[in-house]
Amino acid sequence: MNITDTHRVSIETTYYGPTNHRGSRIKACAGMGRKVWVSYYSDTDDNPHDRAALALMAKMEWTNDLMKGATETGHVYVMESS
C-alpha cells in the first residue's frame, strides 16, 4: 500500500447539537482559521454537511470538485485536481 502526498486541501465537517443559545449547526473547517458555521434544520436539510463544505468553498473562492468520505463525527472532503 502506498500513500501519495498531493498537498490537496481537505475540509472536515462536524455536527454540533443545539444549546441554550444556538440551534443545531454544522462546522466546516480546512485548518489555519478557515471555517464556516451553517445552521442545520433536520426537517428541511437533505445534506447539511455538503452544504457546509460548499459554503466554505465559496468563502475561500475555491472552485475544485470535491470527493467525500464519512467519519464517526461528520464528513471529510478532499479537492480533486483541477
pLDDT of residue 82: 64
User: What is the spatial distance between Cα 78 and Cα 20, in angstroms, rounded to a whole number?
Assistant: 34
The predicted model scores a pTM of 0.86
Q: Is the pLDDT of residue 57 over 70?
A: yes
Cell of 70: 464519512
pLDDT digits (tens, 9 = 90+) for 12-51: 999 999 999 999 999 999 988 899 999 988 767 688 999 9
Cell of 42: 433536520
pLDDT of residue 45: 67
